[in-house]
Amino acid sequence: MAEIHLTGRAASPGLAIGPVTMLTAAVARRTASDDPAQEAAALRAAIEGARAEIANQIKTIRGDVADILEFQVAMLEDDALAEPAYGVISDGITADHAWRLALDVEIAGYRAAEDEYFRARAADIVDIRDRVLAHLSGVDTVARITSGSIVAADDITPSAFLAADWSHGGAIALAAGSPSSHVAMLARARGAPMVVGLGPLSWNGQPPALALVDGDAGTVIFDPEPETRRLFEQRMAVANAAQAAADAACLESARTADGRRIAVLLNIAAPEDLAGLDPAICDGIGLVRTEFLFEAAQGLPDEDAQYAVYRRILEWAEGRPVTIRTLDAGGDKPIAGLTIDNERNPFLGLRGIRLSLARPEVFRVQLRALCRAAVHGALKVMLPMIAVPSELDRANALLDAEFTALRAEGIACAHPPLGIMVEVPAAALRAEDFGAAFYSIGSNDLTQYTMAAARDVGAVADLNDTGNPAVLALISRTVEAGRKRGVEVSLCGDAAADTRLTAALIATGLTILSVSPIAVARLKAAIAKVRS
């Protein structure tokens, strides 16, 4: 049998291998009565039985799991939930059928919600539905999951998850589901890898026996070939070793060997990059690239779509600072309908802030979305490719105008601090001339513009070196300008993740480094070895 590769969304990180348990809803049988009064009484007793059962479970647990179960108790205690069921029971429908009908309407209401958090509550209502049905039939319908197995199902309820032992491995592969579901939250807390949204799990004949779940990439392989399995097991061994080392250090804030505190921030390209990450591993987000929003198929994103994304990121950060960079299109990042085609030298052309100022109608939408998102956390806004102070001043005027307009319309908004990327040597040399709220050094462009060498041109790649004294001098100069003006200076380019440069970067006086999530553990380990 050929192996089956499925791709979904990562909901809980980690790798797992194990036998497959197909979770299918058990059909409970019960003998119904012809008397509506008896059926209503049976439903009432089943609801009370389910409520008492959960209330009993809550006594032994705390925290998130208790909150999830308390929600179920509150729903079961509310007569409004069963009201429609009692209505049709009096018309002669059996208790189990009536309950199912009523709850399915409720479930459909959640599934149709716009907000993913509300959509994800459908699984809780399914849980409530099935638990009461189990009490009605007197049969335990909560599926038992064998420890260490890969659960393959359409969706899974919190009860089914909680009934299993996840301390000896195991993972979850769902056709539907959501990273915002209570089960995903539980899976992350228990360290069970989980992938959702795999699409229909259908097999020709035999269901699969074995599965490999990659909760980092969001992929599942059913019935792997021996070679695929061997490579996966190798990856697991490496990941386990690295994880053990990183876990210990990752939640600690970074300090050099001589005790200097270095803030470690994250670079991300989309909110999906944060799935399954504990915000405690970082001191905030140092760079959100917003190009991904503009690369999606349907033209330029509107204000609400941008706002929703920015807000999700700010909410994830739980009050830690989040720096969002305005659109940095052009150069090597063309965007259909926005950037200029066939520029003779796109890296020296209309890119970054230059493009935004040339297309204010697009820029204004982004600034409005940012002002609205700013009420949800500690947002900072950063302008790319700034070369002269007037660019910052013009952007600032646009930001002021959008903020004032929003406030006049009575829309919740805040004015985020506006800082600049320092990536053009002109800006690094005269950083103190810019009235920026902060400086963030973009080491990739700063290096290529200083050394006049692109890193993707093999013949000159060795010249493209951030460790070159000329580049380090520009970084030092920027750090010094920040110190004089009393504003923060960070570095968010690839050099921050290059641990061979960590000591040199810290020697320039930098105290804030921003790297992709995967590099956090490595960078923290490298910082710990630095002695100035």
Partner 1 sequence: MHDAHASRPGETAVPLTASAVLVNKVGLHARPSVKLTQCAKGFTAKIELALSADGPWTDAKSPVKVMRVKAPQGATLHFRVTGSDGKAALAAVLALVHDGFGEA
Helices (H), 59-146: 63-77, 79-89, 95-111, 116-119, 122-137
Nearest to 313 by CA among 270, 281, 364: 270
Residue selected from 87, 109, 207, 467 as contacting partner 1 according to rule CB under 8 A: 109
Spatial distance between the Cα atoms of 421 and 444, rounded to a whole number of angstroms: 11
Taking contact as CB under 8 A, which single stretch among the options 62-70, 218-226, 434-442, 515-523 is the one that binds partner 1?
A: 62-70
Residue type, 195: V
Spatial distance between the Cα atoms of 423 and 505, rounded to a whole number of angstroms: 15
8 A C-beta contact, residue 69 and residue 58: yes
Interaction residues for partner 1, span 275-334 (CB under 8 A): 311, 315, 319
Least distance to partner 1, CB of residue 81, Å? 5
Taking contact as CB under 8 A, which single stretch among the options 118-126, 147-155, 291-299, 428-436 is the one that binds partner 1?
A: 118-126
| One character per residue 63-82, x = contact with partner 1 (rule: CB under 8 A) | ----xx-xx--xx-xx-xx-
**Residue that the structure tokens 């600072």 belong to:** 321
83 token code pair: 């009201």
> In the complex with partner 1, which residue's Cβ is closer, 115 or 140?
115
| Side-chain half-sphere exposure of 471, counting CA atoms within 13 A | 26
Spatial distance between the Cα atoms of 320 and 378, rounded to a whole number of angstroms: 6
**Residue that the structure tokens 């479930």 belong to:** 107
Residue selected from 100, 121, 188, 524 as contacting partner 1 according to rule CB under 8 A: 121
Residue selected from 16, 21, 39, 106 as contacting partner 1 according to rule CB under 8 A: 106
| One character per residue 255-274, x = contact with partner 1 (rule: CB under 8 A) | --------------------
> In the complex with partner 1, which residue's Cβ is closer, 207 or 319?
319
| One character per residue 163-202, x = contact with partner 1 (rule: CB under 8 A) | ----------------------------------------
Least distance to partner 1, CB of residue 67, Å? 5
Residue 487 falls in which region: left (phi positive, over 0), alpha (psi -120 to 50) or beta = beta
Residue selected from 129, 320, 351, 376 as contacting partner 1 according to rule CB under 8 A: 376
Give the binding-site size for partner 1 (rule: CB under 8 A). Answer: 25
Nearest to 452 by CA among 439, 470, 440: 470
Least distance to partner 1, CB of residue 394, Å? 30
> In the complex with partner 1, which residue's Cβ is closer, 119 or 333?
119
Q: Does 87 bind partner 1 (CB under 8 A)?
A: no
Least distance to partner 1, CB of residue 115, Å? 5
Residue selected from 35, 115, 272, 304 as contacting partner 1 according to rule CB under 8 A: 115
Residues contacting 60, CB < 8 A, separation 6+: none
Q: Does 117 bind partner 1 (CB under 8 A)?
A: yes
Residues acting as catalytic residues: 182, 492
Residues contacting 196, CB < 8 A, separation 6+: 8, 9, 11, 174, 176, 177, 178, 179, 181, 184
> In the complex with partner 1, which residue's Cβ is closer, 107 or 385?
107
> In the complex with partner 1, which residue's Cβ is closer, 187 or 314?
314
Taking contact as CB under 8 A, which single stretch among the options 110-118, 293-301, 416-424, 475-483 is the one that binds partner 1?
A: 110-118
> In the complex with partner 1, which residue's Cβ is closer, 375 or 528?
375
**Residue that the structure tokens 């005269």 belong to:** 430
> In the complex with partner 1, which residue's Cβ is closer, 77 or 302?
77
Distances (CA, A) of 75 to 66, 128, 130, 135, 399: 14, 8, 14, 16, 45
Taking contact as CB under 8 A, which single stretch among the options 114-122, 171-179, 298-306, 415-423 is the one that binds partner 1?
A: 114-122
Q: Does 104 bind partner 1 (CB under 8 A)?
A: no
Residues contacting 211, CB < 8 A, separation 6+: 17, 18, 19, 20, 150, 152, 171, 173, 220, 221, 222, 223, 224
112 token code pair: 């149709």
> In the complex with partner 1, which residue's Cβ is closer, 72 or 448?
72
Q: Supply the DSSP string of 258-318, one letter for each residue.
A: T--EEEEEEEESSGGGGTT--GGGSS-EEEE--HHHHHSSSSS--HHHHHHHHHHHHHHHT
Q: Does 127 bind partner 1 (CB under 8 A)?
A: no
Q: How far is CA 448 from the centre of its chain?
A: 31
Q: Does 435 bind partner 1 (CB under 8 A)?
A: no
- Name the residues that contact partner 1, by CB under 8 A: 67-68, 70-71, 74-75, 77-78, 80-81, 106, 109, 113-115, 117-118, 121, 124, 311, 315, 319, 375-376, 412
